Amino acid sequence: MKTIEKALMHGLFVHLHHNIDKVIDFRGFQELNRQVGKVWPGVLEIGPEKNDDAAVFQIPGMEGLVVAKMESHCSPCVPRPYDAAATGAGGAMRDVVAMGAQPVFLLDFIGTRPLEQEVIVGPCGFSGHCECGNCKVMTSQERLNIMVKGLRDMCEVMEVFIVGGGFSTSFSDIVPAVVVTVIGKLITEKPLTKPAKKAGDKIIIIGVTGNDGNDTLYRAGLVKEMRPAVALFNEEKIAQEAALAAFGTGKVRACSDLGAAGIGAAVCESARYGGLGARVDLSRVPVSVMGITPQEILICETQARYLIQIPEESVEEVLKAVRSKTDNVSVIGEVTSGDKGIFEYNGEVIAEIPNKPSKAILEALQNEQ
């Protein structure tokens, strides 16, 4: 098994970001929601047990469906508080869009050390003292101002209201808390749920891939330097508009935000949840960095990107709609009738990820944490 396959499978089947149900009892939530559903029948369309990109529900007495997502970007705020706060907001907005909705409102919570305490911002921030010479020492208040500016700047570009939130200075840890909730209105006929729908559907990427957001590669020892995802503002707005234009054709069957573990995770989860497979040609992915490796294209978490799945006969119509907003779009693969995600680059297989790894593989991945 290749190191890149181990890294991606660890993210998909072991890392708690993709396996929340291992620590949170969704059955308890389901029972609660069934009880509440007797009071408000039919209002919960997609709840937490679906493990989709965002929740979908109806507010009683109002027309249409609401989409909401909560996301944290805490650890990245240690080396890069501005980008981390902005990408936290942008990522939650993309999750809302991925369900077929237009983001409208954002609430945020920030928790940090007492405002007068000093903090280290930069690559050495986690160790508590700088050895690289590139970090900055500032007060917790100054770092707070940077994080707030990142949130505000992203919302300004994306034309999203900041309507409330929370704040605390009782945190003692090196890592501050940055949590956002984005709420939007569904604009598609029905939610664009994550599972792949039909073998033969084409997989299209919107946006450009770089080598930032390489956390999964770094943890696997495949790169020497961790590069947190860089906030992309105008690109984020353009990608959203392109995705909404694609939705306007009525041909999109599934959509995914390219968050944690990037293309690899989005493709594999969609295929697995749909009981299907996928084949992707990574050499067809638009990139922004010369010399980027296939492994980086596969897993990096560059912002401002979406994957959509459409019927083969609708490719030209959807591409035309997307290109009315951006030229950064490409057909990179298709859904298959298999049981694994296969990723190639210039004819060479880079990774094969089974939908159901063997017990021995899962135990090995667990032991390598």
> Does some domain include residue 47?
no
pLDDT of amino acid 230: 92
pLDDT at position 299 is: 96
172 and 248 fall within a common domain: no
What is the model's pLDDT at position 226?
A: 80
pLDDT in tens, 29-47: 999 999 999 999 999 999 9
The predicted model gives 189-208 an average pLDDT of: 97
Residue 37 lies in a domain: no
Q: Which of 186, 221, 246 is the last residue of a domain?
A: 186
Give the CATH number for residue 358.
Answer: 3.90.650.10
Q: Are residues 178 and 212 in the same domain?
A: no
As a whole number of angstroms, the distance between CA 341 and CA 86 comes to 31
pLDDT digits (tens, 9 = 90+) for 149-185: 999 999 999 999 999 999 999 999 999 999 999 999 9
For the chain, the domain total comes to 2
Q: What percent of the chain has pLDDT above 70?
A: 100
- Identify the three-state secondary structure at position 265: helix
Among residues of the chain, what percentage have pLDDT more than 90?
85
Q: Is the pLDDT of residue 114 over 70?
A: yes
Q: What pLDDT does 303 receive? A: 96
User: DSSP code of 20?
Assistant: G
Q: Please check whether residues 226 and 352 belong to one and the same domain.
A: yes
Establish if 122 belongs to a structural domain. Answer: yes
159/228 same-domain check:
no
298 within domain boundaries: yes
Task: Please give the pLDDT value at position 21.
Answer: 87
**pLDDT at position 239 over 70:** yes
Note whether 112 and 215 are same-domain residues: no
Q: In the predicted model, is pLDDT for residue 128 greater than 90?
A: no
Q: What share of the chain is helix, strand, coil (3-state, %, to 5)?
A: 35, 25, 40
Question: Residue 368: its pLDDT value, please?
Answer: 73
pLDDT for 367:
82
Q: Is residue 41 part of a domain?
A: no
Q: Do 276 and 338 belong together in one domain?
A: yes
**Region 193-213 average pLDDT:** 97
Residue 14 lies in a domain: no
Do 149 and 242 reside in the same domain of the chain?
A: no
Owning domain of residue 260:
202-367
Q: What is the pLDDT of residue 369?
A: 55
Compute the mean pLDDT over every residue in the chain, rounded to the nearest whole number.
95
Whose tokens are 């080396």? That residue is 79
In this structure, are 208 and 337 located in the same domain?
yes
- Answer whether 330's CB lies under 8 Å from 285's CB: yes
Q: What is the CATH number of the domain that holds 163?
A: 3.30.1330.10
Strands 161-168 and 101-111: parallel
State pLDDT tens for residues 315-359: 999 999 999 999 999 999 999 999 999 999 999 999 999 999 999
CB–CB of 343/264 below 8 Å?
A: yes
Q: What is the pLDDT of residue 100?
A: 98
- Checking if the pLDDT of 90 tops 70, the result is yes
